[in-house]
Amino acid sequence: MLGTGRGCLKPPDVVLHGTGVEPQHCFIERNSVDDEVILHPISELTAVDDVPISGPTPLVP
């Protein structure tokens, strides 16, 4: 889980700070079969490379 952690019973694994960052902002999944990394947004303000996302989004290097 990534986020600010403010008001959460369990702190996030990665703490983020900044405008628009929610307490529970998103989470990252790694598929060990094909080594794919996917970002799952929780907040409506989640973006990848400044592009808003609304669903699971593969992260590419």
Contact between 12 and 5 under an 8 Å Cβ cutoff? The reply is: yes
With 0-12 CB in 10 A as exposed, 13-18 as middle and 19+ as buried, what is 46?
buried
pTM of the model: 0.82
Q: How many angstroms separate the CA atoms of 3 and 17, rounded?
A: 8
31 contacts 17 by C-beta, under 8 angstroms: no
- The per-residue pLDDT for 57 is 97
pLDDT band at 15 (very low <50, low <70, confident <90, very high): very high
∠ CA 7-3-61, nearest 5°, is 175
Output the pLDDT for position 1. Answer: 85
